Structure 1
Amino acid sequence: MRLMFQDEARFGRISDTRYCWCRRPFRPRVKAMATQQYSYAYGAVSPMDGRFDSLMLPHVNAECMQVFLDGVAQRYPNDNILMVLDGAGWHKSNALTLPGNLKLHFLPPYSPEPNPVEHLWDELREKHFHNRVFDSIDALENHLVDALRAMGQNTERVASITCWPWIINSISNAN
């Protein structure tokens, strides 16, 4: 069995301005932008081994969710996947056809805290997107793909962020 947690995040051409260090007497200059263009990252993490599967898609809806779920199920054809996710409308859509090796389990309403993927989105925004301005949506999407790929390749880092004691205990007590 593979326990996975899933979530989506919106990334757009809105810069995240944060404090930064600079030698005195200089003051740092940081560009800011607020443009209404977005892309969405779908992610699922397996905390026990730090595997992070992600896909950038143009919308959050049942059709894109189906593409993501099918991709995850194909990556782990020999595993029975229990995917924990929030109760967004497209997660519960009747239009979804679940792959045979994947079951969904929903978190209680208004409780994103138990989902470790939320912390991966925070990590991505902090390490790859703060104080950045993108000239185009294509530039943002290229940067997002690179950031998602880098995170997916660093399984130790992903596990250190997402493998919480209660997750370990729930897996070890289930056997």
Structure 2
Amino acid sequence: MKSVARRKAAGRKVEIWFQDEARVGQVGRTGRVWFERGQRPRGPRDMRHKAAWIFGAVCPARDTGVALVLPVATTEAMQAFRDELALAVPEDRHAVLLIDRAPLKAAAT
């Protein structure tokens, strides 16, 4: 961190932000329905699939956060999130964003 502060922050105070993303939504599934005793018929399956991605980051030192809800998780979506985060960082500070590097599964869905 000290080398980052010396090279990139140019005398500004350094903030540490923690970022993560998650997919939320609905995926239909076959289920059991109430019926007469001794019978367990299957219920209909809802084939619709709606999902969104939540990108978020927090800065515990300032007790603040930033989040975006986007329809996909792409490079462009991450850049939009980073642009939004940049607006939350005061000009006299430098943000270090910690990302978990977990792979995005089904990112295009």
Where on the TM-score scale, by shorter chain, does this alignment land: which range? 0.5 to 0.7
Counterpart of 1:63 in 2: which secondary structure?
helix
What is the letter of the counterpart of residue 49 of structure 1?
R
* Rounded Cα–Cα distance in structure 2 between residues aligned with 1:11 and 1:88: 16
Pair 1:81 & 2:87 matched: no
Q: 1 or 2, which has the higher strand percentage? A: 2
Residue 13 of structure 1 contacts residue 34 of structure 1 at CA under 8 Å; is this kept in 2?
A: no
| Stretches of structure 2 lacking an aligned partner (at least 5 in a row) | 1-13, 29-45, 105-109
| Stretches of structure 1 lacking an aligned partner (at least 5 in a row) | 16-32, 91-175
Counterpart of 1:80 in 2: which secondary structure?
strand
Pair 1:56 & 2:75 matched: no
Q: TM-score, normalised by structure 1?
A: 0.37
Distance 1:51 1:34, change over 3 A: farther
Pair 1:9 & 2:22 matched: yes
* Rounded Cα–Cα distance in structure 1 between residues aligned with 2:90 and 2:62: 17
Q: 1 or 2, which has the higher helix percentage? A: 1
Q: Deviations over 1:21-80 (max 9, x none)?
A: xxxxxxxxxxxx774210011000112232121001111111000010011112214220
Q: Following TM superposition, where does structure 1 have runs of at least 4 consecutive aligned residues deviating by more than 4 angstroms?
A: none
* Rounded Cα–Cα distance in structure 1 between residues aligned with 2:26 and 2:74: 21
* Rounded Cα–Cα distance in structure 1 between residues aligned with 2:63 and 2:88: 15
Residue 89 of structure 1 and its aligned partner are, at CA, apart by 6.1
What is the letter of the counterpart of residue 66 of structure 2?
D
Pair 1:70 & 2:83 matched: yes
Aligned-residue CA RMSD in angstroms?
2.3
The equivalent of 1:120 in structure 2 is none
Q: How many residues align?
A: 73
Q: TM-score, normalised by structure 2?
A: 0.58
* Rounded Cα–Cα distance in structure 1 between residues aligned with 2:85 and 2:27: 29
Structure number with greater Rg is 2
Distance 1:84 1:37, change over 3 A: same
Q: Deviations over 1:105-151 (max 9, x none)?
A: xxxxxxxxxxxxxxxxxxxxxxxxxxxxxxxxxxxxxxxxxxxxxxx
The equivalent of 1:43 in structure 2 is 56
Identity of aligned residues (%): 32
